[in-house]
Amino acid sequence: MEKKFFGCGNVYFQRDRRTNHRNCYRYEVAARKDLQEIIIPFFKKHELRLKSKAYDFKIFCEIMKKVIRKEHLTQNGLERIFFLKMKMH
């Protein structure tokens, strides 16, 4: 569904054997251009209802800005991105 709706990304089945977890389908978008031009604008227009997801999305957008500015290519920039990622659920 998501791949067809957004016109990008991939759907795959994820088997999960951990206690209290279920198998599920995952939707994944890896192309930076698709993230910048399709996914991020969509979720900025249609806000996430769960506060934790909205918080993670805000951090994700910060990380994407750093990647676009190529900050991930320096050790310092990579560390900043890592610490931002650690704040996400």
- The one-digit pLDDT tens for each residue of the chain (89 residues) are 567 899 999 998 988 888 888 888 889 999 999 999 999 999 999 999 999 999 999 999 999 999 999 999 999 999 999 999 999 98
Cα-based angle 30, 2, 51 (whole degrees, multiple of 5): 80
Q: Is residue 9 part of a domain?
A: no
Q: Is residue 19 part of a domain?
A: no
In the numeric block, which tokens belong to residue 72? 């991930």
How many structural domains compose the chain? 1
Please state, in angstroms and rounded to a whole number, the distance separating the CA atoms of residues 69 and 61. 12
Q: Is residue 54 part of a domain?
A: yes
Q: Is residue 26 part of a domain?
A: no
Cut 0.85: pTM above it: no
pLDDT of residue 1: 57
CA distances, 23 to each of 2, 3, 19 (Å): 18, 19, 11
User: What is the span of the domain harbouring residue 79?
Assistant: 47-89
Q: Is residue 2 part of a domain?
A: no
Q: Is residue 79 part of a domain?
A: yes
Question: Helix H segments across the chain?
Answer: 2-6, 32-34, 40-45, 51-68, 75-86
Q: Is residue 67 part of a domain?
A: yes
pLDDT of residue 19: 81
